[in-house]
Every structure is written in C-alpha cells, then in structure tokens.
Structure 1
C-alpha cells in the first residue's frame, strides 16, 4: 500500500528500578537526526521530563512498495479456525517495509546505542549493558489499534537474557509507553507494559522451543493485539495470550537490550502489518 513517508524517530529510555547502581547518564544526542527523547524511570514517584523538540525533518519521500519481480514469496499455509490470526491473508500484508528505504526507521546514534539503516536492514546496537532501553519507531502513517505485526530479527553474539524487542501501541504523543514483546538469547520471551514513569511485567520470562536460541540466529517476532487481548508468536507459532487494557492504538518500536553483552547487535528486516477489523 502507498503511504506518504514521514520520519518518526523515537528514543525511549527505560531504567528498571534497582537494576542500575549508578546515576542515569545524561548524553547529548546528535543534531542531525530527527528525534524526540523521553526518559522513563521505573520509580513511580519519579516525574518524567518533558519531551524534547524535533530537531530536523527530512524532506525526501520514498515508497515502501517492493519492486515486482525481485523476489517470490511462498504462500503461507491456510490458518486453522483456532488460530488467533484466522481470517488474515498472511501472504498479503496491508503494509510491508522491506527496509529498502532509510527514511522509515532511524536513530538513536550516540555512545550508548545506535539504530541505523544499513544495506536494506535496520541495525540496532546496544553498547552498554546498563538496563537502559532505546527504541526506534516507524512513521505515524502506520499507527494501528487492532493489528497483527511481524518482524524478522537476526542477532549476533549474545548470551543469557540479552534481548531483541518489538513494541506495539506505542503512545503517539510521547512515544514512551506501549506493550513490548522480547525474545532472549537463551530462548525465552516476556511481555511488558511501559507507561511514562513505570514499567510493569505482564508475563515473566518463559522458555519456548519455538524460539531459536543462541548467537547468530534468526527469529520472527509476531504480536497480535485485538481489543484487550494480546497474543504473541515466535516463528509463526502461538506462544501466549494475555489481557491488558492500558493502550488501544499507537505506533511500533524496534529495539535491542543488552543484559550481559555490551555491543549486542540485531538486524531487523521484513516488517509486516495486518489491520484487523474489530
């Protein structure tokens, strides 16, 4: 589908209470990247600072529609009636970003983390295992409420609870709230809720044979949100469903979170979105 391209770049910093023993560092981000910055502290008594002002806005416009004939995508098998995605045509997403454009996901880029477009993929690197979370969001044109989304993630060297993440229903105003699905290097997943100033784990780390574990592996993260029901997937397999009612519409985020491997790097590709009729 054709969409006007507007760069939406967001950096969200999360600090888990008690997880970091040193003061939160204050860093100046580069001025050549359009972004807003929000610092989210897990301490409910903390007051979140105001959002920064956008610095620059690129004027280039490109299309995310793939060039016909370049690749042949196999037709997925039909979904069974008990699949939460039943009724969706997985061969025809409503929105597909193959990352051929460098204008849909970008930033941050500083000494703590770097999310940059590189050779048709988004490379996300967390340089510090410091419990801070940085994410990039996509253009606001694809904001959605009821949805199913998939993204392919290839992780490099990793260990333990080093994680890759996908966020949905990200707050369109401050971009520091939303639901996250995370896969860890040891083959576990969890679901969290981020609200400006607080972090709540909705589903603790749970191991799954559907997640490929270890370094240099590739997984497909899937997140379905329908009303208050959140269902998560790994490589097309259902993992869990939970109920949550904090957010009903928003943007999307991609991130990596180094728990024990400074410099943890993940390559994201093939972001696909299906809108679900209520």
Structure 2
C-alpha cells in the first residue's frame, strides 16, 4: 500500500526524571537521550517497517540536526521526495520531560516544519496514494496548514477517493482547540486521546464529546483511553477494545500515539474492521513504549501477530 504522510520531523531531547522541576529548580535526570522524532517521522517509519511504500512531507533546516532527524526515515526506506529544506530556519526540536508516574511536560519548536511550502505539493502524489495521513500539528499554522488542507482536498476529490486519517496531538489541540474541528471533520478516521477529545469538543466527558462529534458529522473516531485500551466509535456503534500489556517494561511513552495511528491505518488498509484495527493499534502502542525514543523499536507484522496471539 502507498501512504502519503504530512507531519513534523524533529530531534527529541528526552529527560526521565523523578519529578518535574518547579520554577527555578534544577534537577538531574535519571536518564537523558537524544532521538529522532516527530509525528510525521514516527508514523512514516512505522508504516515503512510494516512493509508499505511511504512518502513523507515535512521540512527541515540546513543544519546537522536535519540528518539526525531523518536518520530512521532514511534507514526504513521512506521516500524523501516531499522533504523540503529551509535555508533559514532550524530543524524542529522538542524537549520532553517525563516521570515514572506518567507526568509529562514538553517544549516544542515548530521551526522549519511550519514553513512547509504548499506550492511544492504535487497533486498526483496524493491522488496516487492508497491513504493520506495528516498529523494535526500540520493544521495549526500556515503555510504548513495550507499544504495539509490542499492535500486533504486532493484526497477527497480524487477520482478514486483517498481515505484520510487525522492523528491529533495534545500540543495541536491545546493551541487550536475547537478551531481544529472544521479542518478535520472531512477525514474518514480521527485518532486522539481522551484529553484531546474533550478539549477538541469543549465537553467534559467522553460520551458528550463523541455525541458532539457525531452531531458535527464525524465518521469514525478512535479514542485512546490509556490502560483501558481504546474506544471505537461510529454513528451507529461504540465499543471498548481492551488494552494489551507486553511482557517488557514500559520505559518511554514518547511517540506511542503516533505508532498507534500508523498501526491502525496499516490494519484498515490491509482489510481489518475497526475493532481489529484498534486491537492491532493497541498492540503497536504497547510495544513502542518498551524502548527509549519514538522510533527506536522496530514493529513488524510478526511482532504484532505475536503479541496479539498472547
């Protein structure tokens, strides 16, 4: 299958702490590392490792960080034909601080990613794909937003409509809030977590939020609900899909949601129904948190089958 992915590529600076620092406080991490990341990069790498042909649309700077941010993209065989180079802005970086209790704080700089030039989007590349995956971070600021919206329009109007998956993110929802709704509703599949769901809809419960999305015209919504697994919603049905716990320990949750989105799209495109696709996505997300870094763990069909058979 051919996927066209629009999203950020970043260099992630990861700090694992006993507690998040208070204002003015200096703390020492239990572990620190630098890893390739970004929703677009992680989704693309995961799909490529699952055997798909993937084109990633993103923008990096003309700096040493660019090569590092794209290292797994290149290694996994993702096409770089839609990767743009910015002569002035730096490659995006994200600082992630997290504790064993699940507390998390992030500092993100969109930098070159936000300048993705829509004039360089090729209509035929979108129309020739089997699916378009858009990270919501691509929808918060132009010109990157213009690029993503144009690609979604091409997908909807293609002779053979290209299904659209939108992967929400906490930072994107925090910045754009309910303003994201109009942009993402044309997508066939919306993937997000409980906090993002409620912030996106301005509601205070999952049921109220899903009702709101249904009234607005959403088609298929997949909600990640942590240790409970995920909820699959359609206008006619709602079902909880149980979580999966791998034998390995959880060490880093960075990029787990992006891996979930990629595995879900993979399962849908290879013939699974919504429930089984969510089950596969739960498995992929569970595997991804057993190593440090968003893209470090290679997840294959064999890996998914092994954990799903447990």
Structure with the bigger RCO (C-alpha within 8 Å, sep 6+) is: 1
Both structures adopt the same fold (TM-score exceeding 0.5): no
Structure 1 length-normalised TM: 0.31
More strand by share: 1
More helix by share: 2
